[in-house]
Structure 1
Amino acid sequence: MHISPFKLERFFARYEFKAPYLLCTSDCEPVSVSDIVDMDKSYLDKILHYNLGYINTDGQGELKDSIANLYRSIKPENIIVTNGAEEAIYLFMNIAINRGEHIIVQFPFYQSLGEIAKHIGANISFWECDNRQNWELDIDYLKDNIRDNTKIIVLNMPHNPTGYISSLEKYNEIIEVARQKNIIILNDEVYNGLEIDDNSRLPYISDLYENGVSIGGLSKAYGLAGLRIGWIASQNKSIINEVNHYKDFTTICNSGISELLAIFALQNRAKLLSRSLGIIRGNIKLLTEFFNRYSELFNFIPPKGGTIAFPELKRDIDIEQFCIELVNKKGVLLLPGNYYDYDNRHFRIGFGRKNMPETLEIFENYIKEIFRVI
């Protein structure tokens, strides 16, 4: 059986590298190699003399040490470095789920968080974020939908595409529900560190729960998508060992030069996160003001973290057609919500790029033109 096309990625393949104004990207403003070298002049010599041979399947020791320093309960041997967070998700799903087993997935979701399990033959329950309640998750739904064969609860916080982050109290309650049934919790945490309010930052699931699995990476918060460096971390060593064995059949090892640059990036983690936070916190203020001005056109729930939000267009218009006409006429790219299998009214908007103010102005002029608003 062939896996279903990754609809979101196919949409981006059509438009992302042609549209001059990207208003839906999920990564922060990209960092250049020169930006990294400027942080420490010794880096350039290390790059120029780096040996481009194979490296460890699970990642270089120095990089795993740097990643482990992000956690409280995770040691380097509890980490596998992957080719982006996407490979980490793929590897985990293939070793953790079997045909006929059941998973519960926070919805809407980045397609691979549910699609790979579906392809394997798992049964999936959608734990929907409630757009009438600021995208909140209903803990009673979780309790009511756990089955005898429920294997995994899949979370993504900060959430793509809504920017939702649960309270710490609810997060701990989810963990206790899982612990009572010995259910694994996978949390895609690639937006961790990009909270609008630092107080809303949640601990890593792998620090709090012995069967918690953290997915991390450098693409979103660090602006280093081109390095293709992600990782999976868990206290559950059997999961880590199985992931490592499965990786022998996918990419074997990562790009060594990418891992070297990742080491440099994590040595300067505070600088890179401060840079990204400065961009998103300035942009979210402008974005909120924009949606407040046009509240008759849009429903907007401000995100609590990440680089994206999921507003609703309050018009009887096909959202995909709206987005396609926008990019064709003005060169501004938004992502229709139907690419999350959600509905035909919501769309994803991004605020992680430096040119968002300019791009938002073009979008504003467009909606004034087509909706005759002032």
Structure 2
Amino acid sequence: MTKQRGLQEFFDDPATIAARHKMSASASEPVGQAELLALEPDAAEQFIDLGLDYPERFGPSTLRTAIAARFNSVPFDGVLITSGLDEGLALLATALIEPTDRVIVLTPCYPQHLLLPEWRGAEIVPWPARPENNWVPDLDELAGLLSNPTKAVIATFPQNPTGFMPDEAYLFTFLALLERSGTLLFSDEIYAGLPADTAVPRLADRYEKAVSLHGLSKTCGLPGLRFGWLASRDMETMRALTRLKDLFNCYVPAPVAFLADIAFRNEEKLIRRNSDILEASIKATEAFITRHNNLFSWVPPRAGTVAFPRWHGPGGTQALSDRMVSEASIALAPSRCFDAGDEHVRFGLCRRSFPDSLAALEKFISSAL
């Protein structure tokens, strides 16, 4: 009998760590220090000479200013730098969610979107994106959910793991529903920006009670840097978040800030690099699914780095995942990791190795099924 595991448990499993083919990574192809430092003259020498005294509280003003400049209406004090988005999500849940609050969460999702409000004692109300609707979440359903008092809505655009990205008409209606109810919005935009030239929602610009979350992990390929941020023009909310962060650690390590500064100045180059990788993987996936449409189908992602193909073969994807890692050294996260049934897997498309991993998957299904 297979055992259901959470997403982090899946990635922490020794078999996943040892697997030759890792097919579910959500971050773009990681950038090495040498590659990042090579983007600017003398950056390597400056990095070696970097002082390690106490850094500026709450992160360098230059970086907070650069983040605020991405928005039309978010002030300098409306930006809070975090250690990746995990810290940002934890700050939001701890500062703003209280026991008995009602929180609507777009699902399937990054598990912490559910686990953190649950830890705070909130009532979790799923707002499901469904495969029969091509993963487009139903706005009429959201309107019904918002008819009861709700503290916050947590949504990810582009959505993890489905790749759904709303168009302008969808966002207009979505935000109108929130404005009518006055509900807080935690807008996880960590996957926004890929492919190149796709829009970033920046919903903090468009709704006063929205907090936009972003970072350098997914689109820039810097997950090990642990650099994220929260942005909002709701200053009462931002003051609450800043006070909470000040209780624990209000500093951004100087080496992290130095490397993040380079990434910000060269973001377009990093996005183009990763967009090329993503495009190659999407083409390879389209060809793979065409060849094996008796076993797989998918809704191609509208944006972001991940997709959620459906398995039509024998058994569920948990059993398939267990077999693949043990028999073919292929690590592929099943949909149970997202509490989303047993019929889908998450493809992490923005890795150079992904087409080769698809070939390994093709070999496995051709010989073992």
CA contact (8 A) 2:294 2:313 kept: no
Q: Which residue of 1 aligns with 2:64?
A: 64
What does residue range 326-341 of structure 1 map to in structure 2 within 5 Å? 326-341=324-339
The secondary structure found in structure 1 opposite 2:25 is: coil
Q: Which residue of 2 aligns with 1:13?
A: 12
What does residue range 186-265 of structure 1 map to in structure 2 within 5 Å? 186-195=186-195, 198=197, 201-265=199-263
- Relative to the length of structure 1, the TM-score reads 0.94
- Specify the code of the residue in structure 1 equivalent to 2:181: K
The secondary structure found in structure 2 opposite 1:306 is: coil
Is there any run of 5+ residues in structure 2 with no aligned partner, and where?
A: none
> Displacement of 1:83 after TM fit?
0.5
> Displacement of 1:147 after TM fit?
4.3
> Displacement of 1:331 after TM fit?
1.3
Structure 2 residue corresponding to 1:357, chosen from 349, 355, 358: 355
> Displacement of 1:355 after TM fit?
1.2
Q: Which residue of 2 aligns with 1:107?
A: 107
- Specify the code of the residue in structure 2 equivalent to 1:248: D
Q: Which residue of 1 aligns with 2:171?
A: 171
Of residues 12-21 and 257-266 in structure 1, the stretch that sits farther from structure 2 once superposed is 12-21
Number of positions where the alignment pairs a residue of Structure 1 with one of Structure 2? 365
Structure 1 residue corresponding to 2:283, chosen from 271, 282, 285: 285
Q: Provide, for residues 73-122 of structure 1, a one-character-per-residue CA deviation record: whole Å limited to 9, x for no partner.
A: 22322111000011001101111111111111110010111211011111
The secondary structure found in structure 2 opposite 1:41 is: coil
Q: Provide, for residues 270-294 of structure 1, a one-character-per-residue CA deviation record: whole Å limited to 9, x for no partner.
A: 1011111111012111111111211
Is there any run of 5+ residues in structure 1 with no aligned partner, and where?
A: none
> Displacement of 1:6 after TM fit?
8.7
Q: Distance in 1 between matches of 2:76 and 2:279?
A: 32
Distance 1:147 1:57, change over 3 A: farther
Q: Distance in 1 between matches of 2:325 and 2:247?
A: 39
Q: Which residue of 1 aligns with 2:88?
A: 88
Q: Which residue of 1 aligns with 2:52?
A: 52
The secondary structure found in structure 1 opposite 2:103 is: strand
- Specify the code of the residue in structure 1 equivalent to 2:324: L
> Displacement of 1:148 after TM fit?
4.3
> Displacement of 1:342 after TM fit?
0.7
Q: Which residue of 2 aligns with 1:154?
A: 154
Q: Distance in 2 between matches of 1:49 and 1:16?
A: 38
Q: Does 1:294 align with 2:308?
A: no
Distance 1:18 1:98, change over 3 A: same
- Specify the code of the residue in structure 2 equivalent to 1:10: E
How much is the aligned-residue C-alpha RMSD, in angstroms? Answer: 1.6
Distance 1:250 1:329, change over 3 A: farther
Q: Distance in 1 between matches of 2:279 and 2:6?
A: 30
> Displacement of 1:252 after TM fit?
3.4
